[in-house]
């Protein structure tokens, strides 16, 4: 299982997924799809797209990873998780084949998702890439549209040590004659995408060039924005408050525009309604999410260099007195860059999620100390959070994050 043992579960080909799909009579060919890759933002983008399609009247599948509390979060139709019985039946019905193929946890889950969407005859499914793109198990679909949110440093041991190398892996989802939307135009890698799109005869659009945000403020529990391009202006209320959603919204609106050009009928009313209730419609959790008002606790799943930069932007724009950081990380990543970004004036509560790949809290405390980060380590995520709660005074902010798996234990 990839979530348990990390890189040993990463496959260097799509053979198992292709064989599994053939065994299931190719469910991936029986529904339309949108394929979403990218280092950061692909989860939020996938959930927003699914919410909009759902509100526009399409029966919409949504496949994402990892889950936070319940495995079934990964596979939804119109926001409803796959039932436990359907998961059990799938494994039972295919047990002999699974034992002979020995697929990874991720390969089996992708096959389950595709089978579920085909059986329930979804109109369209939003499929989030697990890791990379070119060799990801999801990359057996031929989508209506491919989406790549952005490129930054993550999983370098698998995807490459430079941004162009990582971009080339993500660009592997660009299919022949299928349009692609790139979320952010990044000068040092734009050529990778332009070259791949030209090779594949694929129309390419850069969402960050298409849209301009002309108004942006937090009002209560909503982010209100006015956003325009050359053709239209939207006044939107977003229930996702993170500053990084301003990048994602440009990607989402560009994708919707492309889908409408392909013949879909997605009107502004559906867009506005969906974006004000993404969490309710799709079950999205862990994105700049307020867990408690008193004490004031916020969590976020941002866990790589760019993700942490966005978290810090949000912290800096959130009024607070003292900052208490409940932080845990995994050990198969270079965390020095992340530690160098974290504020030295915060008090740290280091912890390790319940995970084989977790970095021991004491090791994290020692490494963090070399970057001037002061705090102590705790035997569990909840112990660290409880200690932070005890120390927090009115007006203080407790932030929980550093890893998706840390957030999963507090949500």
What residues does each domain of the chain span?
2-282, 289-408
> What pLDDT was estimated at residue 8?
53
Q: In tens digits, what is the pLDDT along the chain, a chain of 411 residues?
A: 333 345 555 567 899 999 999 999 999 999 999 999 999 999 999 999 999 999 999 999 999 999 999 999 999 999 999 999 999 999 999 999 999 999 999 999 999 999 999 999 999 999 999 988 999 999 999 999 999 999 987 655 556 678 999 999 999 999 999 999 999 999 999 999 999 999 999 999 999 999 999 999 999 999 999 999 999 999 999 999 999 999 999 999 999 999 999 999 999 999 999 999 999 999 999 999 999 999 999 999 998 898 999 999 999 999 999 999 999 999 888 799 999 999 999 999 999 999 999 999 999 999 999 999 999 999 999 999 999 999 999 999 999 999 999 999 999
What is the CATH code for 2-282?
Answer: 3.40.1190.10
> What pLDDT was estimated at residue 272?
98
> What pLDDT was estimated at residue 315?
97
pTM comes to 0.93
Asked whether 151 and 168 are in contact (CB, 8 A), the reply is: no
> What pLDDT was estimated at residue 209?
93
> What pLDDT was estimated at residue 1?
33
Asked whether 271 and 53 are in contact (CB, 8 A), the reply is: no
> What pLDDT was estimated at residue 262?
98
Any idea which fold 289-408 has?
3.90.190
> What pLDDT was estimated at residue 10?
57
> What pLDDT was estimated at residue 334?
79
């Amino acid at each position: 299982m990839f979530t348990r043992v990390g890189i040993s579960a990463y496959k260097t080909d799509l053979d198992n997924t292709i064989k599994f799909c053939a065994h299931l009579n190719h469910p991936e060919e029986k529904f339309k799809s949108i394929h979403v890759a990218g280092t950061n933002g692909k989860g939020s983008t996938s959930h927003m797209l699914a919410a909009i399609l759902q509100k526009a009247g399409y029966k919409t599948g949504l496949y994402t990873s990892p889950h936070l509390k319940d495995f079934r979060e990964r596979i939804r139709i119109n926001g409803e998780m796959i039932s436990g019985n359907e998961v059990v039946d799938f494994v039972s019905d295919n047990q002999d084949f699974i034992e002979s193929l020995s697929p990874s946890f991720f390969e089996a889950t992708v096959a389950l998702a595709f089978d579920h969407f085909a059986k329930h005859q979804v109109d369209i499914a939003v499929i989030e890439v697990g890791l990379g793109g070119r060799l990801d198990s999801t990359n057996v679909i031929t989508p209506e549209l491919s989406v790549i949110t952005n490129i930054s440093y993550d999983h370098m041991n698998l995807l490459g040590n430079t941004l162009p190398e990582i971009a080339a892996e993500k660009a592997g989802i660009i299919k022949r004659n299928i349009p692609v939307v790139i979320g952010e135009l990044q000068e040092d890698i734009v050529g990778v995408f332009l070259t791949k799109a030209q090779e594949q005869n694929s129309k390419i659009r850069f969402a960050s060039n298409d849209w301009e945000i002309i108004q942006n403020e937090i009002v209560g529990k909503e982010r209100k924005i006015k956003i325009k391009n050359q053709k239209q202006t939207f006044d939107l209320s977003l229930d996702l408050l993170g500053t990084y959603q301003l990048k994602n919204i440009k990607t989402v609106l560009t994708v919707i525009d492309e889908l409408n050009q392909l013949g879909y009928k997605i009107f502004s009313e559906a867009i506005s309604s969906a974006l004000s209730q993404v969490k309710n419609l799709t079950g999205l959790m862990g994105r700049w999410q307020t867990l408690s008002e008193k004490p004031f606790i916020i969590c976020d799943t941002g866990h790589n260099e760019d993700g942490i930069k966005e978290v810090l932007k949000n912290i800096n724009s959130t009024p607070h007195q003292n900052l208490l950081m409940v932080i845990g990380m995994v050990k198969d990543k270079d965390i020095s860059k992340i530690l160098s970004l974290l504020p030295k004036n915060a008090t740290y509560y280091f912890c390790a999620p319940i995970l084989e790949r977790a970095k021991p809290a004491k090791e994290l405390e020692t490494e963090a100390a070399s970057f001037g980060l002061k705090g102590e380590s705790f035997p569990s995520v909840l112990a660290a959070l409880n200690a932070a709660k005890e120390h927090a005074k009115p007006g203080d902010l407790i932030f929980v994050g550093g890893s998706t798996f840390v957030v999963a234990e507090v949500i």
